[in-house]
Amino acid sequence: MNDILPEETPVWRYLEETVTRVLAGYGYEEIRLPIVEKTELFKRSIGEVTDIVEKEMYTFEDRNGDSLTLRPEGTAGCVRAMLEHGRVGNRQAQRVWYRGPMFRHERPQKGRYRQFHQVGIEVFGLEGPDVDAELILMTARLWRQLGLADAVTLQLNSLGSVASRAAYREILVEYLQTHYETLDEDSRRRLLTNPLRVLDSKNPAMQALIEAAPRLMEHLDAESRAHFDGLCAILDAVGVRYEINTRLVRGLDYYGRTVFEWVTDRLGAQGTVCAGGRYDGLVEQLGGKPTPAVGFAMGLERLTALIDPAAVPMERFRPHAYLVSVGEGTEIAAQVLADRLREALPELRLLMNCGGGNFKAQMKRADRSGAPLALILGEDEVARGVAGVKPLRDGGEQATVSQDALVADLAEWLRSQP
């Protein structure tokens, strides 16, 4: 689990603000979900024989003896919330999104932590390929706005219906059993419990075997094939490039039909930055009426690692001004002036010197703050009811203005700032 330090948070804020703006542009509403859920929720939704449930969840008993788990992903909790509050099964489409920390006991490495952060998007009540396409087009727009369009590649697959997947499973198991001696320990364990996950193995020794395996895409039912073709037709029409990856199965049991991932080759082994798909059976599986659903999640640690800090408008996250006060009685006067400026100019980011220090030391602090302006109060300025205004970035001359005029001057100056 890692700390995100002040020098790193501007990139996070830039990412989060961009995501929020893009999602609002598509009409998605924010929902805020608890970090802790009942363990049974994840066993029923994710699948008891997935790596997440078997190995990775942080699970504990509370004082009542109930088994609780720190959420390893967000979809299950979102479905639980939509059911609990009667927002699905009423023929009304729901488009929601959420963000926050998730927890998995994995081997920490670059871009992968045991506490990690995701933005998740879920849509309920819409079954056509048009909404699948909307989610993908929305992410493509986000990458363009973040300057990441050239850093990521879209991979698509279809897992078909429950029936076609069950038929394919028999074919796959038969194939894998004929190559049992070649399977690694994990694949042998999955063979009779979750054989599709064998196709997702990252073991280099398994790749030739996986490549030669029967392809699910060749065993799709007619409706799933039409759904996938409809999705591809929309992406083609808009001009979104993609690769069909028949080995893409995702690691959660609830997916069916469309699955997709945005991947990068710039983060080493942790190449997936955004992934999701359709999970039409999950609402019913958790006790609701049959409800089509689709969604995705994006990993914020991996996206922040991709973003070029030079592309982040850092000036938006720095103070506009640093207030220096030197001399007897100036600290109280500075507090009064600062309060007046903040009241009149709510958008002003004003950092005030605290802890004393001579003029030279305070001006060094002002410079280190990144603020473009220093506001200066000495004993003479306080006596005259004025303040010094010194540009710190463009070499301009210090000016002296009345404190009454300072509000109007700063308001005009703020209008010129990004």
Q: Count CA atoms within 13 Å of residue 269 on its CB side.
A: 9
Q: What percent of the chain has pLDDT over 90?
A: 83
Say whether pLDDT at 346 is over 80. yes
Find residue 166's DSSP bridge partners: none
CA dihedral 139, 144, 146, 152 (to 10 degrees): 70
Would you place residue 349 in the very low, low, confident or very high pLDDT band (cuts 50, 70, 90)? very high
- Give 234-278 pLDDT, tens digit per residue: 999 999 999 999 888 876 667 889 999 999 999 987 799 999 999
Find residue 61's DSSP bridge partners: 67
Q: What does the domain layout of the chain look like in residue ranges?
A: 9-160+220-311, 318-415
- Give 178-236 pLDDT, tens digit per residue: 999 999 998 998 898 888 889 888 899 999 999 999 998 899 999 999 999 999 999 99
E strands, 71-189, where? 94-103, 115-124, 153-158
pTM attached to this predicted model: 0.90
Cross-sheet strand order for the sheet of 67-70: 36-38, 67-70, 58-61
Q: Domain 9-160+220-311 classified CATH 3.30.930.10?
A: yes
Q: Which CATH class is domain 318-415?
A: alpha beta
Cβ burial 144-164 (10 Å sphere, 16+ → b, else e): eebebeebbebbbbbbbbeeb
Cα angle 273-277-278, degrees, rounded to a multiple of 5: 165
The neighbour count for residue 131, using CB atoms within 10 Å, is 21
pLDDT of residue 212: 94
- Give 13-62 pLDDT, tens digit per residue: 999 999 999 999 999 999 999 999 999 999 998 877 677 887 899 999 99
